[in-house]
Structure 1
C-alpha cells in the first residue's frame, strides 16, 4: 500500500514537472530558475515529511514541533522588524496561531494512516493550486493580501485534492460523504490558513517570513496550510467522537 502511494506521489510530481515546464518555457531565465528552485525544494520537503510519517511516527512528532517553533520565531521576527507596531494585531494573531498550533500538535499524535491521508490531500491541494493558478488562473481572489491566489488555481487544486481523497480512500475507510466532508474541510482550512499567513505579512509590510527554505517565503509560508489542515482534522475527529 505504501509503495503504491509513493508511486502515486511520484506520478503527481511528474505531472507537476510537466506543468512547470509549460509554465516556465516562455518566462525569463531568472524567473524560471526561481520557479524550479521552489519546485525542487518542495519535492525535498514532501519526501522528508512522507518518510517521517511512514517510517517513524516519532520523527513526524518532532518535525511538527520544529515547524511550529520556527513558525513562532518568524512571527516574532516580523513583529520586531516592524519595530513592534500593531501590538494588538500581533497579540491577536499570535493567540490564533497558538490555537492552531495546539490542534496541530494533537494532530501529530493521531494514527499514522490518518496523518498520511491528511498530508497527501494537503500536499496535492497546495501543489496543484499553484500549477492550476499559473496555467488557468485569471481572476484574483484577494489581490491585496495574496496576489498569486486565483479562483482558477484554488478550484483546480481543490478538485485534484478531493478526487485524490477518493483515490486514496483505503487510508480512510469511511463512507463517501465523510470522505468528501473530510477533504472539503482540509481544503477550506488550508486555504484560510494560507490567507491568514499572507495577511500577517501584508499587515507588517514584508514579502517573506524568512529565507530558510530556498524558493519559499519561510516556514510559515510553506507549512501554514499543513498547520491549519491538521487543526481541521482534530476538529473533525473530536466532533465525530462527541456525536
Structure 2
C-alpha cells in the first residue's frame, strides 16, 4: 500500500509541476526561478517526511521536536528584533504556540497510518491551494494579513484534499463521515495555523521568519499548517478514539 501511496504522491507532483509551469511561463525569469526553487525544495521536504513516517516513525518524532523547537526560537527572534515590542501579543502567541506544539509532538506518537494520512491531506491542501489560487484565485480573503490567499485557492485546495482523503481512506478504515470530518478539521486547522503565522509576521512587519529553507523562509513559514493540523488530529484522536 505504501508504494501505491507514493505513486499517488509522485502523480500529484507531476500535476503540480504542470501547474507551476502554466503559472510561471509568462513571468519574469527571476520570479519563475524562485517559484521552481520552492517547488523543488518542497518535493524533497515531502519525500523526507514521508519516508521518516513510513520507514522509521521514531525519526518523525524527533523531527517534530526539532520543528517546534526551531519554531519557538523563530517567534522569540522576531520579538527580539522588534526591540521587545508588543509584549502582551508576544506572550499570548507563545502560549498558543506551546499548546499547538505539545499537541503536534503528541500527534507524532500516534499510529503511523494516522500520521501519514494527516501529512498527506495537509501537503495536498497546502500545495493545491497555492496552485489553484495562482491559476484561478481572484478574490482575496485576508488582504491585510496574508495577501496571497484567495477564495479560489482555499476552495480548490480543500476540494482536492478532501477528494484525496477519500482516495486514501484505506489507511484508516473509518466511516466516510468520520473520514471527512477528520479531514475537514485538518484543513481548517492548517488554514488557521497559516493565518496565525502570517498575522504574527505582519505584527512584526516581516515577510518571512528567516531564510533557513530556500524558497520557503523559516520553519514556521513551512510547517505552521503541519503543526496546527497535527494538533487537531491529536485532539480528535482522543475524542473519537481512532
TM class, shorter-chain normalised? Answer: over 0.9
Aligned partners of 1:85, 1:16: CA distance in 2, in Å? 40
What displacement does 1:172 show?
1.1
Q: Number of paired residues?
A: 242
Aligned to 1:149, the other structure's residue is in SS state coil
Aligned partners of 1:30, 1:81: CA distance in 2, in Å? 29
What displacement does 1:239 show?
1.0
Compute the TM-score of the two structures, normalised by the length of structure 1: 0.99
What displacement does 1:203 show?
0.4
Aligned partners of 2:18, 2:48: CA distance in 1, in Å? 23
Aligned partners of 2:35, 2:149: CA distance in 1, in Å? 16
Q: Structure 1: which 5+ residue stretches go unaligned?
A: none
CA displacement, residues 183-204 of structure 1 (integer Å, 9 cap, x when unaligned): 1000000000000000000001
1:188-227 equivalences under 5 Å are 188-227=188-227
Aligned partners of 2:73, 2:197: CA distance in 1, in Å? 14
Q: Which residue of structure 1 lines up, in the alignment, with residue 28 of structure 2?
A: 28
CA displacement, residues 160-185 of structure 1 (integer Å, 9 cap, x when unaligned): 00000000001010111001101100
What displacement does 1:215 show?
0.3
Aligned partners of 1:212, 1:234: CA distance in 2, in Å? 28
1:158-237 equivalences under 5 Å are 158-237=158-237
1:147-162 equivalences under 5 Å are 147-162=147-162
Aligned partners of 2:240, 2:186: CA distance in 1, in Å? 15
Aligned partners of 1:152, 1:221: CA distance in 2, in Å? 21
Aligned partners of 1:52, 1:216: CA distance in 2, in Å? 21
Aligned partners of 2:154, 2:196: CA distance in 1, in Å? 15
What displacement does 1:240 show?
1.3
Aligned to 2:149, the other structure's residue is in SS state strand
Aligned partners of 2:80, 2:182: CA distance in 1, in Å? 38
Q: Structure 2: which 5+ residue stretches go unaligned?
A: none
Q: Which residue of structure 2 lines up, in the alignment, with residue 105 of structure 1?
A: 105
Alignment RMSD (CA, Å): 0.9
Compute the TM-score of the two structures, normalised by the length of structure 2: 0.99
Q: Which residue of structure 1 lines up, in the alignment, with residue 64 of structure 2?
A: 64
Q: Which residue of structure 2 lines up, in the alignment, with residue 138 of structure 1?
A: 138
Aligned partners of 1:43, 1:230: CA distance in 2, in Å? 20
